[in-house]
Structure 1
Amino acid sequence: MSLSSLLGDYTLQNVVLGAAMLGLVSGVLGSFAVLRKQSLLGDTLSHAALPGVCLGFIIAGGREMGSILAGALFTGSLAALVMLLLTRMSRLKTDAALGISLSVFFAIGVVLLTYIQGTGNASQGGLDAFLFGQAAATLRSDLWIMTAVGGVALALVAGLWKEFKLVSFDAQFAATQGMPVSLLDGLMTIMIALAVVIGLQMVGVVLMAAMVIAPAVAARQWANRLESMVVLSALFGILGGVVGAVISATGPGLATGPLIILSLSSVVLVSLLFAPRRGFLWEILKLRRDRRQLRYQRVLTTLYQLASHHADRHYRSEKRMLDTYLGADSRRALARLMARGLIIEQAPPPHEPGNNKRWVLTPAGCQEAERILATLGQEQAH
């Protein structure tokens, strides 16, 4: 299929626009869920939306998107309320409350879905597509609904940016400032429910949790400020949505929802591996550098301690002595210390057989060794 035919395809246009809108909203709102350590919240709300989908279908008597999304928002918000009540009025932790809400509401949804399938309603065909999404069924009217719902969520974030930021990082301090923390917490939860609602058509109940969390997780590896994280998360969400939609259009019978999630997962994987200061590769390199530095410091402080023991700062230490004392080969460390001007090499006395070179600390080496030992002493004191 040529590029011009792809761009002119009405169904693909709807899917790409819907995926971009979903990625934008999910990326922005998912950032707050990740920072609040409520990554499971998206999973709970998406599964809790299933009974709302079924209730909306029953009330409307068919697959009327507005009714279905309203029902999904209602049950998703109700599940969030149940979770908040369980954590505030019992000794249950957040993860346990989320697990209870997820299980109960999803079970109710499966029961209602089974009931609808047994009624023989001709319009119920394809209703189970909300489990895994059916992006190809997205209509232009659905896009207007998604845009309206997403616009409300983004407008709330923009209007309450300072409040959401403070509650996400330090809820106790926000409470001391007189902010309605519980109200803001509930509002953020409802907005995440809004993101879940607009994504049901695209990726479905089962995969929507990844759509909320993945862009924010990837952005967190690159950003140190909330503003940067939210912008990057939105861009990653749009990128994953559009790439997944285009790939599904170019391949026969490829599901759009799973491909969107796989695209986002690829972004997360690259971020986890290569992001500066937080990526796995960076950590591995830092660990190797720290280990080398530790070896150099051990050799230097050992030379200093031997010289102090003999009350001679110009004491000449043999490499064999150092290797025995340290239990490892010190050749590379000695070469590095000599290159930095912290030690100097001295030839063995003429009457001594072999090539047992000696190493002596320079004044700079003595000062560096004293600094290292003083630092270690302070750390042990604390």
Structure 2
Amino acid sequence: MSAVFEKPSLRQRLLPLFQGFDGPLAFAVFMLVCAGLLTMYSSGFDHGTRFVDHGRNMVIAGGILFVVAQIPPQRLMSFAVPLYLTGVALLVAVALFGLTKKGARRWLNLGVVIQPSEILKIAMPLMLAWWFQRREGQLRPLDFLVAGGLLLVPVGLIMKQPDLGTSLLVLASGLSVIFFAGLSWRLILPPVLLGVIGISLLVWYEPQLCADGVRWPVLHDYQQQRICTLLDPSRDPLGKGFHIIQGMIAIGSGGVFGKGFMAGTQTHLEFIPERTTDFIFAAFSEEFGLIGNLLLIVSFLFLIVRGLMIALDAPTLFARLLAGAMSCIFFTYAFVNMGMVSGILPVVGVPLPFISYGGTAMVTLGMGLGILMSVARSKRLVPT
């Protein structure tokens, strides 16, 4: 008597790898990817191989998403401390003997040139989620102070490079974990109130603070100029204010329905600087108008809200904090990029997720989405 074993088909072997994937999250990503490809083709078709490279970066990010989604959250937790320590060590190495380009020391040559600060966008929330998981059920005020110290070390090293955009993203990812871990509102409201007062005073005394020869402590000269330019772009309309002015002109000229696909004059006459990277939102707004902007914003909000829903349904504190932080990273990316292009935030180097050109940022986004998918799968694949 012989047993007959039927060899599983390719579909049967691959199906378990996709089980538990979150459909609504995948749909939100699909909508943003389509918007990104359309916008990149319009703004970058005559910009070398930008469109092809953008598509390649999306495929790479998709592969990273798929691989990371296969790793359960409890396994991701084991990477937290090594990844954080490696990232901080590399940041120290950058400060000591990193490569300097355009006045910023952000890169390290290890046979290949890398930007270690990008590691902390993922390592920071991993580390803090691991820390609070270890302290679950016995949280004290001292634990939040330790978490703040773990956050301030890499943020300070990144700001010293200087890289305000990346430091802002790392800071936002870390603060979101600390907030979701249960930080009291009594500790949150005072700095928020001080920030509002500080911004109000800055706007009120802008003529005096931004006068020639006045130097601000802490901030670098270029950071001070960016803030002053934000408050009054007309101070230097053909220089430091050019980016903001042209971005606002492009957004306003799009009107309600936009000028149409590939019909943006500001974009194709090259009035918009960095039209395929940091200022691609201006190119999108000119061609697709207010309606297109609303659809894009709704897509981002849907992705963020879905990520927060995944966090709420996560099986462990670590998974909940990590998924919440990943969702806040997407919010910070989108809010800061749209804000700086619209003239309500200073110009910093933060791309628009899935829309802007950039390989490193796309890899980071793929990892973040993979973590969200991993958390979603961990809940759905738990035996009942």
TM-score normalised by the shorter chain: which range applies? under 0.3
Of structures 1 and 2, the one with the larger relative CO (CA 8 A, separation 6+) is 2
* TM-score normalised according to structure 2 size: 0.23
Q: Which has the higher helix share?
A: 1
With normalisation by structure 1, the TM-score equals 0.23
